[in-house]
Structure 1
Amino acid sequence: MRDLEIYIRDLESSAVSDWLASHLDEIELADDSLGDRAVKGVARYRGNSVRVSLYPGAGGKRYTSVILEGEDLPWASDLDCARSAWRAMDTEIRCSPGDWKEGEPVEDERWWRLDQRGEQLAVWN
C-alpha cells in the first residue's frame, strides 16, 4: 500500500473535497466540515480503494494534514500531490522532501513549501 501526505495551510473544507473529487472517483467523506477533529473517507481510483484522512491542526494550528492511502493513487509522490493541490487551492502546501516514514527524522528538517513564491525547500518553522 502506498501513501501520500501533504499539509495544507488555512484549508477550507469544500476546497479539499472539490480538489479530490476532480482526481478520485466516488469520494465519500464522513463529514467534509473541518473542525478540530479528523475527517475520514473513502474513494476509488482506477477501480482501487483509496482511504482519505484529514487531520486539522497538524504541523501547527493552521495546517491540515491530508493523507491518501491505496494501491494506486493519482500522483507518484508527495510533491506531485502538493503541486496538484497548489494549482487547485492557491494556498500554501507543504510536504516532505522524499520517502519519509513515520518515526524517521526528516532530512535536515526541510520540507517542500509551495506558495506564491514558488517551490522551495524550507525549514518548517
Structure 2
Amino acid sequence: MRQPDIEIYLKDGDQQAVTDWLNAAIGPCTPWQRQGQTFKCQAADGAPITWLPNAVGKWHSLFIESERTPWEDDLAFARAAFAALGVQIRCAPGGWQEEESVDAADRWIKIDDTGEQEFIWRTH
C-alpha cells in the first residue's frame, strides 16, 4: 500500500547533493526557502518537500508530503537515496500510526554499505 507521505533520515547528508538527486528523480524542484531551522521546497507536481538539518543529532530529515512519488513507501525511498547518495539512510519499517506502541515507533531500518538491517533507534 502506498504511503501518503514518505520520510527518511540521512547521516551527514549534503543538501546540494540531495537537491540534485531530487531534481533528477522527481523533476525540477523550486529553490529551498528557509523557515527557521527548516528548508522547504516543492516538487514539480507541487508536492511539499521538507529538509530539516540535524533533526535527530547529526541525522537530517527529508520528508515528502505526497503519495505521488516514484517511491511507494519509506523503505523504497531510503533504498533509492542510499543508491544515489551513498550515505547511511534510516527509515521506519512501514507506516507508523499514533495508536501503535512507543516500542513500535523505535523500530527502524538502516541502509548502508553492509546492507539493510532492522534495529532499535530511540529518538525521543
Task: Report the TM-score when normalising by structure 1.
Answer: 0.83
- Does the 8 A contact of 1:100 with 1:106 survive in 2? no
1:109 corresponding residue in structure 2: 106
Equivalent in the alignment of 2:42: 42
- Contact kept, 8 Å, 1:96 with 1:110, in 2: the verdict is yes
Select which of 74, 77, 82 maps to 2:73: 77
Match of 1:2 among 4, 19, 30: 4
Structure 2 SS opposite 1:81 = helix
Is the Cα contact below 8 Å between 1:29 and 1:39 reproduced in 2? Answer: no
User: Aligned to 2:84, what secondary structure does the other structure show?
Assistant: helix
| 1:17-45 alpha-carbon deviations (Å, 9 max, x no partner) | 0110111123013258xxx821100012x
Out of 29, 40, 44, the residue aligned to residue 27 of structure 1 is 29
Q: Is the 8 A contact 2:8 2:78 kept in 1?
A: yes
Name which of 31, 51, 59 aligns with 1:63: 59
TM-score relative to the length of structure 2: 0.84
Name the structure where strand makes up a greater proportion of residues. Answer: 1
**Matching of residue 96 in structure 1 with residue 98 in structure 2:** no
Runs of 4+ with >4 A deviation: none
Which sits farther off after the overlay, 96-105 or 75-84? 96-105
CA distance in 2, matches of 1:58, 1:18: 21
What value does the CA root-mean-square deviation take over the aligned residues? Answer: 2.2
Contact 1:19 1:88 in 2 (8 A): yes
Alignment partner of 1:58: what SS?
strand
1:96/1:106 contact within 8 Å kept: no
Relative to structure 1, the CA distance from residue 31 to residue 103 in structure 2 (aligned partners, 3 Å threshold; closer, same or farther) is farther
